[in-house]
Every structure is written in structure tokens, then in C-alpha cells.
Structure 1
Amino acid sequence: MSPRTLSFHHAIKALILFGFAGYIAYLVQSERILLYIAPRMTDYVKWSALGLYAVGAHQAYLAVSTLRKRHEPDCDCGHDHTPSRSVFKHTIVYGLFILPLLLGFALPDSTMGSSLAAKKGMNLSSASSVKKASPAADSGTGEAPTNGGGTGATAPDSRTSQTGDAGKEAQQAGSAGPTDELFPSDRFTKQYADYAKKLYKQDTIQVSEEFFMETLTSVDLYLDRFVGKKLELTGFVYRQEEMNERQFVIGRFSIQCCSADAAPFGVLAEYDRAKTLENDGWVTVTGKIEKTKFNDAEIMVLKVEKVVRAEPAKTPYVYPNMNFGL
């Protein structure tokens, strides 16, 4: 292969590498990188961009040195490292890298919403995974939270499984502060029980961005204790066919690492003017926590008292807080 042709291949590789590095730099600079990965992963992506720049610079050097015949493509390993002479093969191989790069620059960045939530399935019980991992046999008190037969039912104490009884006991103990008897736990749920005690003292539970999933999980895990309490959260409006005209979901996508593992979570809400709220529109909702049956499961429902239209969060997704329980 002529030095000019070989130099051309090195130049193409350099441009592709510089293109990906530049695209990452653009996403980081514009903060659009948070539409694709969790904040804790951004440093790794930045380092990868530096690696791409370095390898791209090396390919650019090879392109120039080969063109000037300063670089000898042969080596002593006994193998031919020159590229294939097939134009079709090169078009396919380089196209696999160039096409997604062009699409990245050409297509607008957008947040995930109702359409993806419908495909993945909205989870209305954020504590469901914790309940599955928390068998009664592992409870240090013998009174571990249990799954009440659905994706959202919670019965922290079998002696007070009825909502009314639980509420009365909670009110009686309220003056003395939440206790371990009100929030029994095991090794799987202790951190949620401790956080639930803090939430229980609040007049209105505000679901913050920092502890979004942790707050919903704690409330859902000890739902009977929070019935009648007020809760405030912000998210996008989501609906599905099984819901009546008064129902909608305040939803968010939770991301562990990147958008590929995004999972939609939300709280069912009931509001007399729910029809005035557009799908994917962002709202801040305040309401009273109750329990209801939905798709044969007992879950939390928010009886809406106040709705305020909100701007989409700067970081539209929520993430597990690594400092939770520490």
C-alpha cells in the first residue's frame, strides 16, 4: 500500500477519535452529559476523552510521518499490519463509528418521558425491591416489614396491619417521637427505618432531589405510619390506560450508571382537575398520603391539595445517594 493511502487511513482514524473526544467535551461543557450518565460517572468520561485525544494525536502523527516516508509500516513480527484494500470493507467499518458520531451532533438532546416509561413500565412502589430482599427471618426484632401481597403494600407490624389502627398508634406515640416499635427493621431496612423516623417528624415531607428515591422508599416501606401525612414532590405527568380521569402519576427516572439502566418510578395521585395537566408536563404536587388498590396491588396514593406547574429539573433524573445511611 502506498504511503499516501496508508496516511489517509491514519488521518481518518485520527478524525474519528478527535470527533468522539470533542463530542464528549461538548456534552460536558454544556452539562448535557447528565442526560446520558449519572454525575458520579462524569469524571471517568472526562478521562476517557483525554485518552481519545492522546490516541488521536498518535494517529495524526502516523499520518504525517507516513506521508513524509519517515515511518516504516513494516515490523519484525512477521505479520502485515497494512489496512485491507477493500473499499467496501473500509466504508462499513468506518461508517460504524462515523454515523453515530454524526447523529450525536445532529440530533437534539432530549430527556426521557412518558413514552419510555410506558415501555419500561412505571413502578408505583419504590420499596418493592427492598421488600423482596428483606425476609422476616433476617429481622433482628422478628417484625420485619413485609409485602402485603402487592407491589405497594406495606405492613411494618402485623399487630397494626390495619391503616386505622396504625394511624392511632402512630398518633399516640407521636408526642414521644418515633420509636423502633413504630419502625421495625432488619439488616436490609435499618437505614430506611432511621430515615423514616426523621421524615415522620416533618409536617410536610418534601421529597428532595438529593434523597428522592430514599425518601419515597422509606415512606412506601412504612406506608401505614405515613397515612394522613402531607408529601410534596416534583416530577413529570404520566398516565396509563388503567387510570381514571382523576388519576395521574408524578414520575421520575432513576439512573444507577447511565441512561441504559434508567427505571421509571412515581407516585399515583388523584386530583379533580387532573385532565388539565398535560403528559410530560412538570409539576410540583402537595397532597395527603393515603392507600389505594391499583392493578390488584395496595399502593400509596397522593390526594392532591395543591398543584404548581414547574420547570423541568436541571438534572432531570434522580440517582441513588451513596451517602445514604452513613
Structure 2
Amino acid sequence: MSRRSSELLHHLVRAVILTGFAGLMFNLMVSGDMLLYIAPHLMIYAQLATAFLVIATGFQYYIAVASMKRKVVVCNCDHEHGHNHSHDSDHNDSSRSSWRSSAVYVVFIVPLLFGAFLPNDALAGSLAQKKGMNLGRAAMVGKPSSADFVEIDGDEDPALKEQFKTNVYNKDYAKLGMLLYKQDLIEMKDDWFIEKLQALNTFVNNFQGKQIRISGFVYREEGLTGTQFIIGRMAMTHCIADISPYGIIAESLDAEQYANDTWITVTGTIGQAIYHEQTVIKLNIESIEPASPAKIPYVYPDWNFAAKL
């Protein structure tokens, strides 16, 4: 293969690899599957990266076309080469260069193939077993001293404010707790899932007997009784590397008939339980319905939830 043909081939291979990555990123963006790997607040960076890849791909194709029209400079020594050079030496150098280039291309092609052909599946119970389920906890055990109390903003009933009296660190969860307390049915939807769970566990005594509904996957771990399981969701803070399982203990006499990783919707009343020496909320099941996992089954923290209360 001539030197010019070899150079053209290298440019085309690089262009094809860039096309693959740009196409993969674009497909993840359009399908919404990008949210299986990063949290929504990082989507802007993924969009910028996709745009950069598209531009780089176009530029690489331009280089490939340009290399077909111009004379290729073999070296930068600024003089004409004679024909007394060693063809064997050129052939050996070219062979070594081709092997090195091929090795570099494989480094990019292999992850591209994995990304293109492996399914985009969300992680659930299998990861929970490795990381352990986060059940939340009562951040305020017992009554704080009067010196720790802070005034809660808003025009809520003073008696309700007194019921959710807390310290400065839990002030935002107290405001969210008051909103939840006034609801006839607390629904644990994707929005504010983590924040609601923390509010419920921070003021666990205030929510005894309140109705709650939650959808998630069934999970079991050591320490639960035969009538208990955990209904959980996977939470992502920034990216797939930091996902963690969150959930609520659910209790029913027929709990054993629900297999692990089964998705269900559970309605019941809130109780409390001591689990691993922590006070957490418990869901006393009244009804269970089959559920299908959402296309993007992760929940995400809302760093600005306090400003939206």
C-alpha cells in the first residue's frame, strides 16, 4: 500500500470511530437513555460533548478528503529525497507504524462496540446487595433542647409548626414534612423521593397512621422477618458510579409470595421499626398491585428543593 493510501486509510478509520461515538451519544440523548448513566443536572455537559464530537467528526472527514487532493509531505527536512533510500527500511517502519495504529484504534473500537450492542439496563437489587439498602433514619431522636429550636418560615398553623419543631439542620425537611402531613395520601413519586424519605424519617412520630403509596422493586436482606421486605428505588447523585439504593420496610402476612426484584405498587399506613439500632418508618401493607419499572427507573436528589417549598 502506498504511503498516500495508508494515510487516507488512517484518516478514514479515525473518522469512522468518531462517527460511531457521535452517533452513540446522539442516540442516548434522543432516546433518553443517557439518564441511565448521568443525573439530569449533568445533561448540559453531555449535550456539549455530543456537539463537540459532531464537529470533530466533520473536521476529520474534511482532513480525509483533503489528503486525497494534496501531495503528502513525507518529512520536514526541507530538501528533495533521492531514490537511494532503503525500501526494506521504509517497509519495516511502515509495518511497525501500522501495528501501533491498529492497537490504538482497538482501544477506542472495543468500548464503542460495547456501548452499541450491550443493553442499557438499570441496576436494582443486585447492586443493593453490594452497597446495602439505605432506609433513611430519624435524624432527630427524641426532643431537642429549646436552645436548638429555630423559627420555621411560612404562614402555617402555629400548632403544626410546634409539632415539627426542629433544629436549623432539619429546617427544610420540617417545611417539607408539614406539606406531607396535610396530604390525605403521601405518594412517593420520583420527584423529591429522597427528600420525602428523609422528612418522613426525621419526623417519624408525626406520621404514624398516615397513608402512603410507593412503587419500587422488592428487596430482602439479613435482619428482616418472614413478613417483611424492602420496597426500594435506586438513587443517582451524579452518575452511575455513585448510585445507591433507598427504600422503606414493608410488612404483610403474605410478604413471602413476592419475589426479589419484582416491581410492585404498595399502599398502606406508616408505622415505625427499629432496624440496625435506628428508628425508621415502616409501611403496614393494605394493598399491593403489580407495577412496571419506569423507562428511567432512577430517582435523583433535588439540590434546590428547599427553594421550591
TM-score by length of 1: 0.79
One-letter amino acid of the counterpart of residue 224, structure 1: N
1:95 to 89, 106, 111: 106
Cα deviation per residue 1:236-263 (whole Å; 9 max; x = unaligned)?
Answer: 1111233222111111111122211111
Q: How far apart are residue 175 of structure 1 and its match?
A: 8.9
2:270 paired with 1:289: yes
Residues 220-239 of structure 1: CA deviation (Å, up to 9, x unaligned) = 11112112222111111111
Is residue 178 of structure 1 aligned with residue 165 of structure 2?
no
The correspondence for 1:262, drawn from 243, 252, 276, is 243
What letter is aligned with 2:63? L
What's the CA shift string for 1:284-310, capped at 9, x where partnerless? Answer: 111221222223333221111111111
Give the letter aligned to residue 90 of structure 1: S
Provide Cα deviations, 1:64-98, integer angstroms capped at 9, x if missing partner. 2223335657679xxxxx99944443333211211
User: Hey, what does 1:313 align to over in structure 2?
Assistant: 294
Kindly indicate whether residue 50 of structure 2 is the aligned counterpart of residue 49 of structure 1.
yes
- Give matches, 1:1-326, under 5 Å: 2-70=3-71, 72=73, 85-125=96-136, 127=137, 131=139, 145=140, 154-157=141-144, 177-179=159-161, 181-326=162-307
Structure 2 unaligned segments of length 5 or more: list them.
Answer: 78-92, 147-155
Q: How many residues are aligned here? A: 282
Other structure's SS at 1:228 match: coil
Contact 1:230 1:288 in 2 (8 A): yes
Say whether the 8 Å CA contact 1:156–1:222 is kept in structure 2. no
Conservation of the 8 A alpha-carbon contact between 1:177 and 1:201: no
Provide the alpha-carbon RMSD of the alignment.
2.6
How far off is 1:317 after superposition? 0.6
User: CA 1:227–1:254 in structure 2 vs 1: closer, same or farther (change >3 Å)?
Assistant: same
Pairwise CA distance, 1:157:
4.1
Relative to the length of structure 2, the TM-score reads: 0.83
Residues 109-159 of structure 1: CA deviation (Å, up to 9, x unaligned): 11111001111111111x57xx4xxxxxxxxxxxxx3xxxxxxxx335479
Q: Specify the code of the residue in structure 1 equivalent to 2:219.
A: Y
The change in CA–CA distance for 1:83 and 1:247 in structure 2 (over 3 A counts) is farther
The structure that is helix-richer by fraction is 2
Conserved 8 A contact 1:155-1:222: no
- The equivalent residue for 1:150 is none
Bigger Rg over Cα: 2
Could you list the runs of 5+ residues in structure 1 that have no partner in the other structure? 77-81, 132-144, 146-153, 160-173
